[in-house]
Structure 1
Amino acid sequence: MDKLIQDYFLKEFILIAKDQERRHYSRIEFDGHCTIDFNRATYQAELVDICLTGALIQASAAIGISQGQNASISIELLGVDTKIDLLAVLVKREHDLLHFQLENIDLESTGHLRRLLELNLGDAKLIERELHQLAQGSVQV
Structure 2
Amino acid sequence: MKSHTPEPTTDLRHFHRIVFKTDAILTGNGKTWPCAILDLSLKGCLLRFNDVWLEDEAQTFLLTITLSEDVAIQMELQMSHMIGNTVGFKCIHIDLESISNLRRLVELNLGDNQILERDLLALSGVGHE
Which interval holds the TM-score relative to the shorter structure? 0.7 to 0.9
For residues 1-141 of structure 1, the aligned pairs below 5 Å read: 17=9, 21-77=11-67, 80-81=68-69, 82-136=71-125, 138=127
The equivalent of 1:3 in structure 2 is none
Please state whether the residue corresponding to 2:16 is helix, strand or coil.
Answer: coil
Q: How many Å separate the matches in 2 of 1:132 and 1:23?
A: 13
State the secondary structure of the residue aligned to 1:120. Answer: helix
Are 1:57 and 1:97, in contact at CA under 8 Å, matched by a contact in 2? yes
Letter of the structure 2 residue corresponding to residue 27 of structure 1: R
User: Deviations along 1:92-115, whole A, 9 cap, x unmatched?
Assistant: 011111100000001111001100
Cα deviations across residues 48-77 of structure 1 (Å, max 9, x unaligned)?
000110000111225432333211111123
Alpha-carbon distance between aligned partners in 2 of 1:90 and 1:135, rounded to the nearest angstrom: 21
Contact kept, 8 Å, 1:58 with 1:97, in 2: the verdict is yes
* Greater helix fraction, Structure 1 or Structure 2: 1
Structure 2: gaps of 5 or more residues:
1-5
Percent of pairs identical after alignment? 29
Question: Aligned-pair RMSD on alpha carbons?
Answer: 2.3
Query: TM-score, normalization: structure 2?
Result: 0.83
> TM-score, normalising length from structure 1?
0.76
